[in-house]
Every structure is written in C-alpha cells, then in structure tokens.
Amino acid sequence: MASWREIRAKVLIGQAYARYPNDPARKIKLLSKAIAINPKSHDAYCLRGAEKYRAKDYNGAIADLDKALAIKPDMETAFFYRAGTYFAMRDFEAAIRDGLRLVQFTPDDYKVHFMCATAKINLNDYNGALEDYSKVIRLVLPNKSKESQESAYFALCGRALAYFELEQIDNALQDYETAIQLDPLGWVAYSDRARVYEKHGDMGAAIADLTTALGINSEDSDIYLRRGKLLKKQKDYNAAIANFTEAIRLAPNDANGYVERALTYDFKEDHASIIRDFSEAIRLKPDEWSWFTDRGVSRNKIGDLDGALADFQQSRDLNPTSALVHSNLASIYIQKDALNTALEYAEKAIELDPTYHNGYNNRGEVYRLRGHYDAAIADFEEAQQCKPDSLYSFIGLALTHFKLGNIEQARSFWTQALALEPRYGDIDWVRNNPAHIKTFIADVEALLAAINRDGK
C-alpha cells in the first residue's frame, strides 16, 4: 500500500500539470514540493528534469534525471530526456550512450535512431551515422503519414551528408534526389546538395541549387552567403556583392556578411567600401586581428597612413606573433621615412617567420633607400626564394640594379614586375597611388626614362 508521502507527492505532480500547463516555473515549484515530501519519487525528479531541460537549465536537468535513474535504473523516460539534454549540451558521446539504452526498450523508435545519427555526424562517425539514418529510413519511409514522410526526408538528407563525407558521391546524390522527390518544396536537400556540386567543381549546378533553395526559403542568410562566395569565385563580383548585401539585411549582427562583402570589394578596389564593411565587422567582433590588418591595407592604399598604422598596431596587440603584421608595420614606417623603426619591424617579421617574403622585401627596401645595395639585393633575392612571384621583390631588384648602373638587369626585373602588375608601366598611375612615397616615385620615373631612352 502506498504511503501518505507517495500519495501526496503524486497529487502535487498532478496539480503541477493540471494547474500550470504553460508555466514551467510554477510546475518546477510544485514538483520540488513533491520531492521534498517524497525524496524517492523518481517521477518527480524525472518531470522536474524535463521542465529544466525545456527551460534550458541543462545542468539542473541532468542532476534531476541522474537522481531519477539512481532511484529507478530502468526508467525509460528519464533516459529519453537525459539523452536529449546531453544532445542540447553538445555532449554527443553521452547522448549516444543514453540512446543505446533507449533502443533496448524500444528498438523501433526512429526518433532515438535519428538523434544518435545526428550525434554521430557531429562526432565525424559517418559510418555509424549511415547505419542509424538507414534504420530511420527503413522504419518511416513506408509510412505515408506527414510526420513519417518529414522524418524520412531529413533522414535522407542526413544520410546523404554522411555519404558525401565518405566520398560516396553517387549515393549522396541519389539520397538528395529521393528527398527532393519526397518533398519538392523542401529547401534543405537543395542547399545541402549544392555542397556536393561545389566540392566537385560544378559551380553552375551548385548555384542553381542554392537559387532553388532561396526560392523556397528566401530568409536564410547563410544560403545568400554561400551563393555569394560561389559567384565571387566565378568573378561575378556585382552579383556576389548583392548576395552578401542580402545576407547582411537578414542577419545584420553576423560579421561574416560584412567580411565577405569587403573581400569582394577588394577585387573592385573600392577601398571606401572595404573600410566601411571591415569597420562593421570589427564592431561586431573586435578581437579578430586579421580584420584590422585588412582594413589597414585599404587605409594605406588611400593614403591614410595614420589610420593604417593604428590598425596594424591593433593587429599586433591582438596577434603579436604574426610576421604579416610586423611586415605591414615596417611598410608604413618606410612610407613615414622612419627607417630605423621600419628596419626593426622588418627584422622582427623575419625572426617570426623566416619564410615570409615581405619581411625580406621591406628590409630590402630599407637597405635600398639607405644605399646599401648589396644587402638590398640579397634580401630581394631571398624574398624570391620564399615566393617566386613576389611582385615587390622584382620591383626592388629592378630599382636597386638601376642604382648600380646595371640597366639590362634592371630592365629584365622590371619586365617581370610588369607581367605581375602591368599598371607599373603607367607613370601616372604610379604617381597617383597614395601608397607610393616621393622617393619611390622618383626612382621609378628615372628607371622608366632610362629604359625608354635605352630602348630608343
């Protein structure tokens, strides 16, 4: 016969759900009273754990569900909620352990297999995910109810992803096609199938699938981002920018849209837009050093040396071990004619990464400006060893050999520089580039005059 404590606890449990069906806080309060009266009430612990799970108090939920299972080790409902809680906490291994216990009670519960499959995907256990998704598909596909067909659709998409990761491309495409046949208005299959096409170089098919997905679900900022990246790869920069702009509209607090649009504006050399977009990205995520670096590069290109210097210094503060950042600082100090400081930063860049070409290029430029031509040539040649197509090493070698009177060598290196950046053949462009200092411009003018005169 039940004790009065057991009876009173059950009454409180019933009252919790009868009186407060939509008030989790009051339900938890009554369930706590039930536990206080009957500390052995596994039902009260389990239900309170479920309510805490719904309230996203995951640690509290686990504590209650553990107590429920300590009292009743074969309590299926407690395993169910604990598995779901572990999954929400992204403790996928624990979720799978509880899922394995659940299938001992109900081996044909497709929801448990679905959860386990998704957890295995997150753990990169693609073969395990294949097995579980296949069980889901086998259990629900024959059932024509709406819920079963929806579950089959998402299980097919999940299994296709597992096949994709395992490089079983034909199987992946077949599952996506079956999913699309089940639900032609389901955007997930189109969106995910685009990744398969993209990886295998069919950009047209990938863009087409993303376009179809957006036709069904036009409010997904991630799909606009992905389509924008593909369009950028195809050098359709205006269309890419339009997609990133739409992504920003839909998710204005996601820095990725601003960053991708800024990187696309770089192809159009629209530095005002680049600076604007990186500024927005930095506002949202102020600890990303590379964005300060990229904004600093654009500020430098429009002649804002102080702004560029501030950005590069902030980059250095955030990432003091970056050779790139120290090299950029060296470049700014060269433009400011602070050659001692420039030399310090260039040498620090080389110390941090002896394989980074621009460290040598900047040190070589300091040596060149000081008239230490042998040392300059050695550094520019070292830069070429690090990066054979280093534009500034060719320019540096051309200008240095010109200073030494080696006109033919200067001409050869200048020709190679022009192959990488033809605009250096246009003296007006060189003069009007804000990043070029007066000494550099004068040296280029003299070199071009000598080459043209010699050529005549």
Q: List the end-to-end C-alpha distance of the chain, in Å, as a whole number.
A: 115
CA distance 75 to 153: 31
Question: What single DSSP character describes residue 436?
Answer: S
Torsion of Cα atoms, 267 then 273 then 275 then 280, to 10°: -120
**Tokens, residue 450:** 């000598």
Q: Which of 248, 334, 331 is nearest to 293 (CA)?
A: 331
Entry pTM: 0.85
Q: What are phi and psi of 218, to 5 degrees?
A: -85, 5
Report the C-alpha gap between 222 and 206 in whole angstroms: 14
The CA distance from 404 to 155, in Å, is 71
Written as tens digits, the pLDDT of the chain (456 aa) is 567 677 777 877 778 778 878 888 888 888 888 888 888 988 888 999 999 999 999 999 999 999 999 999 999 999 999 999 999 999 999 999 999 999 999 999 999 999 999 999 999 999 999 999 999 999 998 888 999 999 999 999 999 999 999 999 999 999 999 999 999 999 999 999 999 999 999 999 999 999 999 999 999 999 999 999 999 999 999 999 999 999 999 999 999 999 999 999 999 999 999 999 999 999 999 999 999 999 999 999 999 999 999 999 999 999 999 999 999 999 999 999 999 999 999 999 999 999 999 999 999 999 999 999 999 999 999 999 999 999 999 999 999 999 999 999 999 999 999 999 999 988 899 999 888 888 899 999 999 888 887 654
What does 32-69 look like in DSSP terms, one character per residue? HHHHHH-TT-HHHHHHHHHHHHHTT-HHHHHHHHHHHH
Q: Is the dihedral of CA 391, 441, 313, 274 positive or negative?
A: negative
Phi, psi of 39 (to 5 degrees): -65, -5
Cβ pair 32, 64 in contact under 8 A: no
Task: Identify which of 332, 337, 336 has the alpha carbon closest to the alpha carbon of residue 358.
Answer: 332
Looking at residue 385, its amino acid is: Q
Which 8-state DSSP code applies to residue 145? S
